């Protein structure tokens, strides 16, 4: 077979192979539709330690250190306020008030659920306030999301126990 014919056959094979490649012309490849989510391996002790990290941030007395543990898009439904806190400034405002009496939390009972780049820690905790000697028992739920570098709180609900 002459060299020219081999080239023509080769070109035809390549053209047909290109036609056989699956693709959707209506949906061009983008980072959004070709991204594969990778789940960060985690454990119950790792998620339990996130409360300790949050509690240690309280011990600094610095509201900005506490609010830095929350995702940019997150909600705080706090124990000692009726107002939902959505922005970092609103969270800092709440923690400025909450931190003034020197709170320290202790988990009394918990249940942790693990997901793909998410986790939920729910249970009961007690806060003791160093300046007043008061103690408040409350129910809590923290939801966390792995942002690719660290776990952040996406929602935090805390409410005082209704029965005394």
E strand segments, the chain? 70-77, 103-114, 118-129, 135-146, 151-160
The domain segmentation of the chain, as residue ranges, is 44-160
Q: Look up the pTM and report it.
A: 0.77
Determine the Cα–Cα distance for residues 74 and 53; give it in Å rounded to an integer: 18
Q: Give per-residue pLDDT as tens, 79-121.
A: 889 999 999 999 999 999 999 999 999 999 999 999 999 999 9
The mean pLDDT value of the chain amounts to 85
Neighbours of 81 (CB within 10 A): 15
Task: Provide the pLDDT for residue 25.
Answer: 44
DSSP summary character for residue 115? -
Predicted local distance difference test score (pLDDT) of residue 32: 56
pLDDT tens string 13-25: 334 334 444 444 4
Rounded Cα distance, 99 and 65, in Å: 12
Contacts of 129 (CB under 8 A, 6+ apart): 101, 102, 103, 135, 136
Tell me which residue of 102, 159, 163, 106 sits closest to 134, measured CA to CA: 102
Are the C-beta atoms of residues 141 and 119 closer than 8 Å to each other?
Answer: no
Reduce the DSSP state of residue 128 to 3 states and report it. strand
Please give the CATH number for the structural domain made up of 44-160. 3.10.450.50
């Amino acid at each position: 077979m002459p060299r020219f014919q081999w080239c023509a056959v080769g070109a035809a094979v390549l053209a047909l192979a290109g036609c056989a490649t699956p693709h959707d012309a209506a949906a061009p490849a983008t980072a959004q539709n070709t991204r594969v989510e990778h789940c960060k391996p985690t454990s119950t002790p790792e998620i339990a330690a996130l409360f300790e990290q949050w509690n240690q941030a309280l011990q600094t007395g610095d509201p900005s250190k506490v609010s830095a543990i929350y995702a940019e898009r997150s909600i705080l439904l706090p124990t000692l306020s009726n107002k939902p806190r959505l922005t970092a400034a609103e969270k800092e405002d709440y923690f400025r008030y909450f931190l003034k009496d020197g709170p320290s939390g202790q988990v009394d009972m918990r249940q942790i659920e693990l997901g793909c780049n998410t986790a939920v820690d729910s249970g009961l905790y007690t806060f003791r306030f160093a300046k007043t000697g008061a103690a408040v028992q409350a129910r809590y739920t923290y939801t966390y999301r792995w942002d690719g570098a660290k776990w952040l709180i996406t929602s935090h609900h805390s409410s005082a126990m209704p029965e005394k």
